[in-house]
């Protein structure tokens, strides 16, 4: 049979371009729950940066909810306006259920891409190096001074950032302002100098098209979302395999398996990247051993 040229473009690819364990989140959940850094007491610090309203707080809350097995809100979500809500530097730790301990990965959430109101790029750079103490209130006008009480002069490995995550609202991504691209690149450059792995999370995929809203499992079948990711990758230089679309918990009162699967898939990769980086740093910090045994 010949191709019917009058047929409209198919909305969905017949095969997803990436595979996700839909309906079987247990493997990824166990990976995240059982993750232990090689060094006792080490923690991975995951820094989320991105415009106000991109879904940073919602992502942290979603991760917490999945790990606790019920919806949970710790990071305040800003529903009122897209003005600065999360300006104070704060570390989010997730307690392990029924234990007196926390998961060995923590989140920080800073608003970093606003042109005038955002966190100073230099402050993001200081954060990457672990110089910013919890409780510091970012000032878009000036960067944290070494004389400030919130300046950490001798950051430990736990204070430094191990993975930099750029959080972007997929539904309103384009057109991207030149300034935003420049800011992302600027921060990326610093992270690259420090060899910190970088990831991008595309949030609100449910708002991208009706096919995904109707069924999240279509996320890797929608060509237009893939194209958006490719375009973003080309703009800012984050490779495609480090970009993850997610849908955060934001309106529901119960957990949903598909939502969990997509977030866990992203989180697992973030933890892996951070773990690789930490192990790489640790081996490069160790004195050279010339023994041939
Ligand atoms: N539809 C949809 N809305 C979301 C998603 N993630 C966050 N939101 C909404 O976007 C708004 C801003 O989210 P928030 O987490 O406060 O963004 P932040 O400023 O980056 O911390 C809130 O109204 C959220 O409910 C998502 O994946 N899908
Ligand atoms: Mg927030």
Strands (E), 51-101: 91-92
Provide the Cα torsion 289, 290, 292, 293; round to 10°.
-30
Question: Is residue 292, in this structure, part of any structural domain at all?
Answer: no
Question: Is residue 148, in this structure, part of any structural domain at all?
Answer: yes
Question: Is residue 274, in this structure, part of any structural domain at all?
Answer: yes
CATH of the domain at 169: 3.40.50.300
pLDDT tens digits for 248-289? 998 888 999 999 999 999 999 999 999 998 888 777 765 544
Question: Is residue 193, in this structure, part of any structural domain at all?
Answer: yes
Residue 113 has which token pair?
Answer: 């891409």
Nearest CA, atom 4, ligand 1: 204
Question: Is residue 27, in this structure, part of any structural domain at all?
Answer: no
Question: How many structural domains is the chain composed of?
Answer: 1
Question: Is residue 285, in this structure, part of any structural domain at all?
Answer: no
- Grouping H, G, I as helix, E, B as strand and the rest as coil, residue 116 is coil
The response to whether residue 206 sits with its C-beta less than 6 Å from ligand 1 reads yes
**Domain range enclosing 44:** 40-278
Give the CA distances from residue 40 to residues 44, 104, 274, in Å, rounded to whole numbers and listed in that order: 12, 10, 16
The 10 Å CB-count burial string (b at 16+, else e) for 261-292 is bbbbbbbbbbbebbbebbeebeeeeeeeeeee
Question: Is residue 291, in this structure, part of any structural domain at all?
Answer: no
pLDDT tens digits for 69-81? 999 877 666 554 4
For ligand 1, the distance from its centroid to the CA atom of residue 125, given in whole angstroms, is: 25
- Grouping H, G, I as helix, E, B as strand and the rest as coil, residue 69 is coil
- Grouping H, G, I as helix, E, B as strand and the rest as coil, residue 45 is strand
**Ligand 2 is a single-atom ion; what residues have CB below 5 A from it?**
56-57, 86
Residue 40, number of CB atoms within 10 A of its CB: 7
Question: How high does pLDDT run on average in the chain?
Answer: 87
pTM for this predicted structure: 0.90
């Amino acid at each position: 049979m010949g191709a019917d040229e009058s047929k409209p473009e198919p909305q969905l690819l017949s095969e997803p371009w990436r595979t996700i364990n839909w309906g079987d989140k247990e493997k990824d959940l166990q990976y995240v729950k059982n993750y232990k850094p090689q060094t006792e007491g080490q923690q991975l610090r995951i820094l989320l940066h991105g415009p106000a309203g991109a879904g940073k707080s919602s992502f942290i809350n979603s991760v917490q909810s999945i790990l606790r097995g019920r919806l949970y809100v710790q990071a305040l979500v800003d529903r009122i306006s897209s003005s600065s809500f999360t300006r104070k530097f704060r570390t989010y730790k997730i307690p392990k259920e029924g234990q007196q301990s926390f998961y060995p990965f923590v989140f920080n959430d800073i608003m970093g891409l606003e042109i005038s109101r955002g966190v100073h790029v230099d402050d993001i750079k200081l954060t990457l190096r672990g110089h910013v103490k919890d409780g510091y209130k970012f000032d878009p006008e000036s960067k944290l001074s070494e004389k400030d009480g919130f300046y950490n002069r001798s950051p430990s490995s736990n204070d430094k950032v191990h993975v930099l995550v750029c959080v972007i609202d997929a539904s309103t991504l384009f057109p991207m302002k030149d300034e935003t691209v420049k800011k992302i690149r600027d921060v990326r450059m610093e992270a690259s100098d420090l060899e910190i792995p970088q990831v991008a999370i595309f949030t609100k995929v449910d708002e991208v098209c009706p096919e995904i809203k109707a069924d999240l499992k279509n996320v890797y079948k929608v060509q237009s979302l893939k194209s958006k990711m490719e375009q973003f990758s080309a703009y800012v230089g984050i490779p495609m395999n480090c970009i993850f679309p997610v849908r955060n918990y934001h309106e529901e009162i119960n957990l949903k398996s598909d939502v969990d699967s997509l977030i866990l898939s992203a989180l697992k990769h973030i933890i892996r990247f951070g773990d690789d980086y930490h192990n790489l740093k640790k081996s490069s910090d160790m004195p050279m051993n010339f023994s041939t045994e």
